[in-house]
């Protein structure tokens, strides 16, 4: 079905940060399958681990204990400071699980708290609940009736959030850095206040790190940079390095509300996808990819800041690690899509975050030379577009 306005490009193979199309043209990939290909393309460790696992067992169902899943749960809990994990196959599913768990937690306490507050411009997925949670009207058109139980407040406005909390509020659901909605940072000071607000009211803090998690922002989880911890955390995109897997992690006392029969997934946490995630985590540690993400992210941001001085159509450079946005002049006739097309023609793949923001999401193992090459291609593209 035509659910995507696809680029006129067919990608057939890749190696590291480069991909090749069906006519043999090469491109620098600063999209990474939308923050998915954490290790780039065809990483030998990941390819080998997946081949080995496929030769042993792909799937056996959650009716049985799965050692790879237990190992991954333990690893993610130790990295996050949370206590229990549930595995699914996507970001939307992870958020669905988080919404269900938050409600069940209050049901189990004979509380009527069921309502979830999210931020405007947020993005939480495309299922009926997660699109209702999403703070952007464009994804909701035509899908009513939408389920009740969600409301939205502007990001970084603690007064608006405080005013929205009442005795029906179960949880606040936020992205520490909004990806799809425009690369908008939730400030560390704000996140700290949100954490305090949740503690004061005894409500849950849900962080959607589907895009920001697994090193994308320079730390394993973006919330570490605000020195807080959520009660429930969702992950997906970068976790499997290209193999579909989602995870919902929770605090012990919260996780206890999911007993047998309350939730499930046929495919979630199968041996193949867990092997992929374990390998991604191993390679991030062994190849020092958090440090590389911070260094290459600083290099990319500095390069974009320099371009901003020459090309005033770039108004602001923002983001963290290797989730970087370049916001364009709202009053210019040039759209993000125009620059993205010019970059693609010149051999660089980048994506938008809304009509007026360029988004850069290279693999976490991108090299300094590749960042320089991308900046040079972007400079050429900017020369060709009207300010």
Ligand X SMILES: *Cc1c(COP(=O)(O)O)cnc(C)c1O
| Residues that bind ligand X in the complex, under the rule CB under 6 A | 90-92, 95, 123-125, 175, 179-180, 208, 210-211, 236-237
> Is there a catalytic annotation at residue 208?
yes
Question: Phi/psi of residue 371, each to 5°?
Answer: -65, -45
CB of 130 to ligand X, least distance (A): 7
Is 180 or 370 the residue whose CB approaches ligand X more closely?
Answer: 180
What is the three-class DSSP state of 349?
strand
Query: With contact defined as beta carbons under 8 Å apart, do 93 and 245 qualify?
Result: no
Please tell me which residue in 29, 87, 208, 258 is annotated as part of the active site. Answer: 208
Helix%, strand%, coil% for the chain, nearest 5? 40, 20, 40
Least separation in angstroms between CB 181 and ligand X: 9
Cβ-Cβ contacts under 8 Å for 298 (sequence gap 6 or more): none
Nearer Cβ to ligand X, position 91 or 218?
A: 91
356 is an active site residue: no
How far are the Cα atoms of 54, 149, 255, 284 from residue 47, in angstroms, in the given order?
Answer: 11, 43, 33, 15
Catalytic residue among 237, 258, 356, 360: 237
Residue 53 CB, nearest approach to ligand X (Å)? 22
Q: Which is nearer to ligand X, 91 or 269 (CB)?
A: 91
Q: How far is the CB of 240 from ligand X (least distance, A)?
A: 11
Return the closest-CA partner of residue 179 out of 8, 278, 35: 35
What tokens does 288 get? 């020092």
Report the 10 Å Cβ neighbour count for 150.
Answer: 20
List the catalytic residue out of 123, 221, 258, 360: 123
Closer by beta carbon to ligand X, 212 or else 301 = 212
User: In this complex, which beta carbon is closest to ligand X, that of residue 16 or of residue 225?
Assistant: 225
Q: Minimum Å distance from CB 99 to ligand X? A: 12
Helical residues (DSSP H) of 219-314, grouped into ranges: 252-255, 271-286, 289-310
Name which of 175 and 370 has its Cβ closer to ligand X: 175
Residue nearest to ligand X (CB): 91
1-10 burial: b if 16+ Cβ within 10 Å, else e: eeeeeeeeee
At closest approach, how far in Å is the CB of 82 from ligand X?
Answer: 18
Give the start-end residues of each E strand in the chain.
11-15, 18-21, 26-29, 84-88, 115-119, 150-153, 169-174, 177-178, 184-185, 204-208, 232-235, 246-250, 314-320, 323-328, 348-349, 351-352, 357-360
* Residues designated catalytic: 123, 208, 237
């Amino acid at each position: 079905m035509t659910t995507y306005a696809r680029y006129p490009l067919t990608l057939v193979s890749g190696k590291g940060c480069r991909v090749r199309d069906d006519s043999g043209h090469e491109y620098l990939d600063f999209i990474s399958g939308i923050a998915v290909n954490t290790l780039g393309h065809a990483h030998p460790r990941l390819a080998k681990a997946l081949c080995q696992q496929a030769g042993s067992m792909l799937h056996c169902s959650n009716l049985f204990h799965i050692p790879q899943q237990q190992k991954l749960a333990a690893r993610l809990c130790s990295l996050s400071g949370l206590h229990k994990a549930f595995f699914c196959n996507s970001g939307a599913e992870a958020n669905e699980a988080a919404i269900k768990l938050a409600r069940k937690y209050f049901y189990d306490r004979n509380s009527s708290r069921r309502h979830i507050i999210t931020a405007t411009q947020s993005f939480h997925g495309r299922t009926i609940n997660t699109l209702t949670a999403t703070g952007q009207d464009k994804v909701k058109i035509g899908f009513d009736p939408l389920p009740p139980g969600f409301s939205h407040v502007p990001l970084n406005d603690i007064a608006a959030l405080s005013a929205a909390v009442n005795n029906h509020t179960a949880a606040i659901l936020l992205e520490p850095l909004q990806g799809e909605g425009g690369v908008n940072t939730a400030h560390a000071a704000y996140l700290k206040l949100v954490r305090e607000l949740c503690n004061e009211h005894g409500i849950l803090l849900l962080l959607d790190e589907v895009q920001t998690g697994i090193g994308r922002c320079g730390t394993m989880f973006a919330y570490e940079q605000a020195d807080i911890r959520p009660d429930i955390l969702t992950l997906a995109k970068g976790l499997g390095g290209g193999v579909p897997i989602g995870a919902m992690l929770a605090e012990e006392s919260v996780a206890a509300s999911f007993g047998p029969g309350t939730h499930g997934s046929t495919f979630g946490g199968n041996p193949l996808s867990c092997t992929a995630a374990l390998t991604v985590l191993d390679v991030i540690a062994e190849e020092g990819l958090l440090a590389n993400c911070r260094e290459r992210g600083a290099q990319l941001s500095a390069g974009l800041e320099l371009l901003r001085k020459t090309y005033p159509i770039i108004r602001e450079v923002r983001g963290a690690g290797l989730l970087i946005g370049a916001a364009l002049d709202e009053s210019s006739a040039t759209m993000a899509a125009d620059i993205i097309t010019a970059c693609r023609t010149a051999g660089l793949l980048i994506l938008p975050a809304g009509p007026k923001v360029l988004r850069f999401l290279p693999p976490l193992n991108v090299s300094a030379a590749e960042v320089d090459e991308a900046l040079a291609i972007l400079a050429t593209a900017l020369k060709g577009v009207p300010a």
